[in-house]
């Protein structure tokens, strides 16, 4: 799907940068005297649930869309599931205020005005939200509320608005905390003065650490820049929002931005991670897709009652990170009835076995625990270990309670792994005609033992998989595993790419036959040719980028493939290279056959007027072997040399050094020596 409209994103990035750097500030008009510190409007004791048009429609909002969405909330069961707010984002108003200084709803988009639209939404038993900006103009250039706080708040209240998202573009700010607090306090007080309960949602993109102060001013606050409908955006937002758990409480929640579920830019697994972790992190559940076209799969995600219950748990606590390791994270969220919602999140590009336990997630001692899979509702029993094989980019989420009925099956996990995979989107790697080791692991977490255990690995026709250890076992007790190594051979004729493999475990527990499957994949890869080869002539195994695809032999044009320009750093043009946009990772299979990489790096001259700052890093397997330090759009060209001797994998990483601000990082003239 489309990224958010580029002009608006650019505008916001520009304003963010301006907020941080402009030194002479226009004094902020805070006409209202400061009030008591804490916001106490008694609203959103649990995170708000609803809809906002921005992610799917950008500026194309109108009354019909809002009314149809309200109708759909009722007819589809979304209202019954808890969704309540139907929120209008930017672009609902006229380009200028009225002669007497009021905001004017666009009469073409909103023929009944905001009042008429709100009346309709209220008649459905739902609530209406609106958008404004703590600046002179909204992000899309419509009149802002800075200096007009009370007039605008009075109009919102008179129209029947129930929720205000208050943005940060064109803020005329010196970037100071005092200014941020003053601008957002002015609207808090203006809203309070109206006497109408209005949810107050601060949207300053996490610029001034709002988690540390916004709970006194508003009901929720954005913690990051804008989400976009792709995995890198989601992953980055999760990592920024997760550490802020201590700041959330009833009436005051971290807001990692609106949902992209259903918009088409991510896989079903990624959208489930999005929804599961928003629930785990007590985030607002604001649907951001065109509901009139939502698939059954999208609706199943959005209406899962067990996940909604985790998000809406009355304790109102955000799940905390209790363990993290190599791209895997365990979150635990205390729930009102004493249970814990435990999320096992895998941000890696291949599946991982993730294990936690009752003590680590904060549950007291018990001989058994019940793990309810929040997606499926299925229960398993555990003596204390909370474990699962989690797919690439996936999240397994359990509601864990003390005690378990005797009829509940023991929890198990089956995984496929390989000692040789350092960075790849597969569970193992092999060259044509070569061999590689894959490991299967079946574990029992239940009190009940497994008997007659048997694990097999199936590979495609022409391949072989031979166990070098035991693959059957009479009985497997609590927290025991059957670990089997398999020698996998690829036919000499196999072509590069991933091939599927499958592990199957069969066993019985208390006389019940049971089985489990785990799908995996092996990458067939050929090492680069010997001699010196421009890296852009070598096929990568995987490539990810902040905006648009990684480009070969041009800079990054941000959107479609092939939209870049000749790679140019400080006036030097490079015919060969890789054009990226941080955060970016490009992975190559070397198979131990190469010894070095030389490259120049820098921010492309196409961003000469915009800024940008990045760090270029080169990894050989998991070891960092070169680092450019921070480079800006004025830094001279930097040359890097990386020692790759013996490495199976090469990874080129471009770090955005904070948020991505025009971070067009070029790997200029990289030459691989093999």
First-to-final CA distance of the chain: 39
Nearest approach in angstroms of CB 131 to ligand GLA is 6
Q: Which residues are bridge partners to 620 per DSSP?
A: 623, 650
Pairing status of strand 428-430 against strand 532-534:
unpaired
How many of the chain's residues bind ligand GLA (CB under 6 A)? Answer: 13
The reply to whether 140 sits near ligand GLA by the rule CB under 6 A is yes
Question: Which of 13, 19, 118, 139 is in the footprint of ligand GLA by CB under 6 A?
Answer: 139
Q: Which residues contact 146 (CB under 8 A, 6 or more apart)?
A: 28, 29, 133, 134, 135, 136, 171, 172, 183
Closest CA to 421 of 450, 392, 458: 392
Q: Name which of 207 and 302 has its Cβ closer to ligand GLA.
A: 207
Using CA atoms, how far apart are residues 665 and 656, in angstroms rounded to an integer?
9
Nearest approach in angstroms of CB 134 to ligand GLA is 12
Contact 528, 595 (CB under 8 A): no
Q: Which of 53, 167, 179, 600 is catalytic?
A: 167
Q: Name which of 8 and 414 has its Cβ closer to ligand GLA.
A: 8
For 628, which DSSP code?
Answer: E
DSSP 360-424: TTT----S-EEEEETTT--EEEESSEEEEEE-TT-EEEEEEEE---TTSPBPEEEEEE-TT-SS-
Of how many residues is the chain composed?
A: 674
Q: Name which of 7 and 403 has its Cβ closer to ligand GLA.
A: 7
Q: Name which of 201 and 401 has its Cβ closer to ligand GLA.
A: 201
Using CA atoms, how far apart are residues 346 and 331, in angstroms rounded to an integer?
11
DSSP 312-342: T-TT-PPPEEEEEETTEEEEEEE-TTS-EEE
Candidate ranges 67-75, 132-140, 579-587, 641-649; the one touching ligand GLA (CB under 6 A): 132-140
Contact 189, 39 (CB under 8 A): no
Per the rule left: phi > 0, alpha: psi between -120 and 50, beta: everything else, 87 is beta
Structural tokens at position 289: 């897709």
Candidate ranges 117-125, 135-143, 151-159, 454-462; the one touching ligand GLA (CB under 6 A): 135-143
Question: Could you confirm whether 40 is annotated as catalytic?
Answer: no
Nearest approach in angstroms of CB 218 to ligand GLA is 15
Nearest approach in angstroms of CB 138 to ligand GLA is 6
Contact 142, 177 (CB under 8 A): no
Nearest approach in angstroms of CB 60 to ligand GLA is 12
599: helix, strand or coil: strand
Question: Which of 28, 46, 54, 439 is in the footprint of ligand GLA by CB under 6 A?
Answer: 54
Nearest approach in angstroms of CB 237 to ligand GLA is 12
Structural tokens at position 580: 């990226």
CA angle centred on 648, ends 642 and 654, rounded to 5°: 50
State the residue number with the nearest CB to ligand GLA: 139
The reply to whether 90 sits near ligand GLA by the rule CB under 6 A is yes
Q: Which of 62, 189, 226, 339 is catalytic?
A: 226
Q: Name which of 203 and 342 has its Cβ closer to ligand GLA.
A: 203
CB atoms under 10 Å from CB of 75, counted, come to 10
Nearest approach in angstroms of CB 193 to ligand GLA is 25
Candidate ranges 104-112, 138-146, 462-470, 589-597; the one touching ligand GLA (CB under 6 A): 138-146
Residues 195-214, one symbol each (x = binds ligand GLA by CB under 6 A, - = not), give --------x-x---------
Q: Name which of 15 and 644 has its Cβ closer to ligand GLA.
A: 15
The reply to whether 12 sits near ligand GLA by the rule CB under 6 A is yes
Question: Which of 63, 149, 226, 605 is in the footprint of ligand GLA by CB under 6 A?
Answer: 226
Nearest approach in angstroms of CB 329 to ligand GLA is 25
Cα distances (Å, whole numbers) of residue 672 to 247, 530, 653: 48, 9, 16
Q: Name which of 131 and 616 has its Cβ closer to ligand GLA.
A: 131
Closest CA to 438 of 425, 423, 413, 419: 419
Nearest approach in angstroms of CB 321 to ligand GLA is 25
Q: Name which of 12 and 625 has its Cβ closer to ligand GLA.
A: 12
Q: Name which of 65 and 396 has its Cβ closer to ligand GLA.
A: 65
Backbone angles phi, psi at 655, to 5 degrees: -90, 135
The reply to whether 89 sits near ligand GLA by the rule CB under 6 A is yes
Candidate ranges 70-78, 131-139, 494-502, 557-565; the one touching ligand GLA (CB under 6 A): 131-139
The reply to whether 221 sits near ligand GLA by the rule CB under 6 A is no
Contact 628, 638 (CB under 8 A): yes
Question: Which of 84, 167, 311, 607 is in the footprint of ligand GLA by CB under 6 A?
Answer: 167
Q: Name which of 203 and 482 has its Cβ closer to ligand GLA.
A: 203
Contact 406, 398 (CB under 8 A): no
Q: Name which of 167 and 621 has its Cβ closer to ligand GLA.
A: 167
The reply to whether 499 sits near ligand GLA by the rule CB under 6 A is no
Site for ligand GLA in 508-547 (CB under 6 A): none
Question: Could you confirm whether 257 is annotated as catalytic?
Answer: no
Nearest approach in angstroms of CB 282 to ligand GLA is 19
Cα torsion through 59, 64, 65, 68, rounded to 10? 170
Using CA atoms, how far apart are residues 129 and 90, in angstroms rounded to an integer?
11
273: helix, strand or coil: helix
The reply to whether 444 sits near ligand GLA by the rule CB under 6 A is no
Nearest approach in angstroms of CB 235 to ligand GLA is 19
DSSP 418-477: -TT-SS-SSSEEE-TT-EEEEEEEEEE-SSSPEEEEEEEEE--TT-EEEESS--EEEEE-
Q: Name which of 88 and 501 has its Cβ closer to ligand GLA.
A: 88
Nearest approach in angstroms of CB 94 to ligand GLA is 16
Print burial letters for 87-105: b (CB count within 10 Å at least 16), e (below 16).
Answer: bbbbbbbeeebeeeeebbb
Query: Which parts of this chain interact with ligand GLA (CB under 6 A)?
Result: 8, 12, 54, 89-90, 131, 138-140, 167, 203, 205, 226
Annotated catalytic sites, by residue? 167, 226
């Amino acid at each position: 799907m489309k990224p958010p409209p580029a002009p608006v994103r650019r505008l916001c990035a520009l304003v963010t940068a301006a907020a941080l750097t402009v030194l002479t500030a226009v004094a902020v008009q805070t006409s209202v005297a400061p009030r008591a510190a804490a916001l106490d409007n008694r609203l959103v004791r649990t995170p708000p649930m609803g809809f906002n048009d921005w992610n799917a429609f950008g500026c194309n909002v109108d009354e019909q869309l809002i009314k149809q969405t309200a109708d759909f909330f009722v007819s589809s069961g979304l209202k019954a599931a808890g969704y309540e707010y139907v929120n209008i984002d930017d672009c609902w108003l006229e380009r200028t205020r009225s002669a007497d200084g009021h905001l004017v709803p666009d009469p073409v988009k909103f023929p009944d005005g905001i009042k008429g639209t709100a009346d309709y939404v209220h008649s459905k038993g739902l609530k209406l939200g609106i958008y404004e900006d703590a600046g002179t103009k909204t992000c899309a250039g419509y009149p802002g509320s800075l200096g007009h706080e009370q007039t605008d708040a009075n109009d919102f209240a008179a129209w029947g608005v129930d929720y205000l998202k208050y943005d940060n573009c064109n803020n005329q700010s010196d970037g100071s905390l005092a200014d941020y607090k003053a601008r957002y306090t002015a609207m808090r007080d203006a809203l309070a003065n109206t006497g109408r309960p209005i949810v107050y949602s601060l949207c300053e993109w996490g610029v001034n650490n709002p988690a540390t102060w916004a709970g006194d001013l508003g009901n929720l606050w954005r913690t990051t820049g804008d989400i976009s409908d792709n995995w890198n955006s989601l992953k980055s937002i999760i990592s920024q929002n997760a550490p802020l758990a201590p700041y959330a409480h009833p009436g005051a929640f971290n807001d990692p931005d609106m949902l992209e579920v259903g918009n088409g830019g991510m896989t079903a697994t990624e959208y489930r991670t999005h929804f599961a972790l928003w629930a785990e992190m007590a985030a607002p559940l604001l649907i951001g897709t065109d509901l009139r076209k939502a698939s059954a799969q999208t609706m199943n995600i959005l209406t899962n009652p067990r996940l909604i219950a985790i998000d809406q748990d009355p304790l109102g606590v955000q799940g905390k990170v209790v363990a993290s390791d190599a791209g895997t994270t365990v979150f635990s969220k205390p729930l009102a009835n004493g249970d814990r919602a435990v999320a096992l999140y895998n941000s890696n590009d291949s599946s991982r076995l993730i294990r936690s336990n009752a003590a680590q997630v904060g549950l007291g001692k018990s001989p058994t625990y019940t793990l309810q899979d929040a997606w499926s509702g299925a229960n398993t029993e555990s003596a204390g270990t909370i474990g699962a094989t989690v797919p690439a980019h996936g999240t397994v989420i359990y509601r864990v309670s003390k005690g378990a009925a005797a009829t509940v099956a023991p929890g198990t996990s089956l995984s496929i792994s390989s000692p040789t995979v350092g960075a790849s989107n597969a569970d193992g790697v092999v060259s044509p005609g070569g061999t590689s080791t894959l490991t299967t692991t079946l574990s029992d977490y239940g009190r009940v033992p497994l008997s007659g255990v048997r694990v097999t690995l199936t590979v495609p026709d022409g391949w072989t998989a031979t166990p070098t250890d035991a693959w059957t076992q009479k009985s497997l007790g609590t927290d025991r595993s059957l670990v089997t190594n398999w020698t996998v051979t690829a036919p000499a004729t196999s072509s590069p790419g991933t091939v599927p493999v499958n592990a199957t475990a069969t066993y019985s527990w208390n006389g019940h036959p049971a089985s489990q499957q785990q799908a995996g994949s092996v990458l067939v890869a050929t090492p680069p040719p010997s001699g010196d080869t421009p890296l852009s002539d070598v096929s990568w195994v995987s490539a990810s980028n902040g905006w648009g695809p990684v480009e070969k032999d041009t800079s990054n044009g941000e959107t479609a493939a092939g939209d870049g320009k000749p790679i140019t750093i400080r006036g030097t043009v490079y015919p060969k290279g890789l054009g990226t946009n941080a955060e970016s990772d490009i992975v190559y299979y070397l198979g131990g056959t190469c010894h070095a990489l030389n490259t120049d790096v820098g921010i492309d001259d196409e961003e000469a007027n915009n800024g940008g700052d990045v760090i270029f890093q080169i990894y050989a397997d998991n070891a960092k072997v070169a680092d450019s330090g921070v480079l800006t759009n004025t830094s001279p060209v930097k040359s890097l040399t990386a020692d790759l001797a013996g490495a199976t994998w090469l990874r080129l990483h471009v770090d955005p050094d904070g948020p991505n601000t025009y971070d067009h990082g070029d790997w200029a003239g990289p030459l691989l020596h093999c």
